[in-house]
Homo-oligomer: A and B are copies of this chain.
Amino acid sequence: MAVNLRVPDPAELHPVAGVRIGTARAGIRKPGRRDLLVVEIAAGASAAGVFTRNRFCAAPVQVCREHLAGEGAAAIRALVVNTGCANAGTGQPGLADARATCRELAARLGCQPSQVLPFSTGVILEPLPMDRLVAGLAPAVADLAEARWADAAEAIMTTDTLPKAASRRATVAGATVTVTGIAKGAGMIRPNMATMLGFVATDAAVPAALLQRWVREAADASFNRITVDGDTSTNDSFVLVASGAGGLRVAAEDDAGAAALKAMIVEVARELAQAIVRDGEGATKFISVQVEAAATPAEAQAVAYAIAHSPLIKTAFFASDPNLGRILCAIGYAGIDDLDVDRVDLFLDDVPVATAGGRHPAYREEQGQRVMKQSEITVRVVLNRGSASTTVWTCDLSHDYVSINADYRS
């Protein structure tokens, strides 16, 4: 039951010149579903990625890091993604499987194994069924075409209830530019399915070094601002590809069109990140946690995450119960040692809830109740300590979250 999210209309997902997509039903975990994705990228493209910081990172994440290092980022020719098995917690055999996957696809596309980025998502601690995966590569390659983004979004789903895709097309510095992306799961939503994957491509030409800076900035403004249950997965990956097959060429941050292109990329990444929260396991509400007037960005983030991670606050949202003392409690344990609680203001949407260390004199339970019943809610905390701010997106914690995670493997 996703919150204000719908199946993407394939007609709204603009193809990206220089990027071809093919999918297959490889039966990796369950038969009959699209579970293998191949993305072929034209020669001359550049790529960049950010990956999980989890020390038990999956084998494909380790291989991605190797292949993107140094000159590799300007030579990537393909991505390959399987669902159903995370290839994480699989030791040296898992690493060999990830490398073999690259070799097998490279042979079919006529490139080097080091030009392939592999991704996996699914159960941790189980071996990748290589026979079925390899058998699926030929039909996926045979399927390659530019207008397949909707298939791609479907092929990377695990417990997602809806495919997630976003697309923008605009005229930038006189050229038509396209940015299209897909995402699945959420590292912090379903660490058993084990993965947040995000792929965004543009037909603009962007050098790899600049693209690497942008992928980090876009992640910080999108996928790094979401949480459902606070678990950081073993497989989280976000990759940005610039095919260079379109009309816009950008060489540096201050080139004509660079700012507009970056804004499009951030917008697509943010729409995808929010889609992940809207489709969070068991989610019935979409919550924006906005922290303002913090002394530092890190402090703003600490308070926002203390609120967004609290199971007590999330169950109260689920119940539409304006039990808002729980939010003060989370602000109090966020780790700001010299926080003066008498200066903290708390709002629920526009309703003032707390001030001067206690309940706002004008606050009435009915006002809180009214906001809590909405499907989209903003929690606003003003710390009155400085000028840093942040926003984090999360969802509520419902019975379905427990059901989904208790029963997933069975």
Contacts and interface: CB of A to CB of B under 8 A. Distances in A.
Interface of A: 53-57, 86, 88-94, 123-126, 190-192, 194, 229-234, 309-312, 315-316, 318-319, 321, 323-326, 328-333, 336-337, 339, 341-342, 354, 356-359, 397-399, 401-403, 405-410
Contacts of A56: 328-329, 331-332, 341, 357
Contacts of A93: 358
26 contacts: A54-B329, A55-B333, A55-B341, A88-B329, A89-B325, A89-B329, A91-B342, A91-B356, A91-B358, A93-B358, A123-B325, A124-B328, A125-B358, A125-B359, A191-B310, A194-B325, A194-B329, A231-B310, A231-B330, A234-B332, A311-B397, A311-B405, A315-B401, A315-B402, A321-B407, A399-B399
Nearest to A336: B55
A405 B311 CA distance: 9
Given A311-B229, A312-B231, A406-B319, A53 B333 contact: yes
Max count, chain B CB within 10 A of own CB: residue among A233, A323, A336:
A323
Contacts of A319: 405-407, 410
B232 A324 contact: no
B358 A321 contact: no
A399 B57 CA distance: 30
Q: Which 6 A-B pairs have the closest CB atoms?
A: A124-B325, A91-B358, A56-B332, A319-B406, A125-B325, A315-B405
A368 B90 CA distance: 17
B359 A89 contact: yes
Contacts of A232: 329, 332-333
Given A402-B318, A405-B315, A192 B325 contact: yes
Chain A binding surface SS class? loop
A339 B55 CA distance: 7
Max count, chain B CB within 10 A of own CB: residue among A125, A357, A405, A409:
A125
A312 B229 contact: yes
A311 B311 contact: yes
One complex includes copies of this chain to the number of 2
Contact of A234 (B92, B329, B359): B329
Contact of A354 (B94, B123, B125, B192): B125
A230 B332 CA distance: 13
Given A54-B332, A90-B359, A399-B399, 13 more contacts: A90-B358, A92-B357, A125-B358, A191-B326, A192-B323, A194-B329, A229-B310, A230-B310, A230-B311, A233-B329, A234-B328, A316-B406, A321-B406
A286 to B, nearest CB: 18
A240 B321 CA distance: 36
Contact of A326 (B126, B192, B357): B192
Nearest to A324: B125
A89 B328 CA distance: 7
Contact of A358 (B94, B405, B406): B94
A290 to B, nearest CB: 19
Contacts of A312: 190-192, 229, 231, 405
A318 B403 CA distance: 10
A334 B280 CA distance: 23
Contacts of A337: 55
A397 B231 CA distance: 15
Contacts of A328: 56, 88-89, 124-125, 234
A230 B89 CA distance: 26
A408 B323 contact: yes
Max count, chain B CB within 10 A of own CB: residue among A312, A330, A356:
A312
A356 B125 CA distance: 12
A91 B363 CA distance: 15
Contacts of A330: 231
Nearest to A344: B56
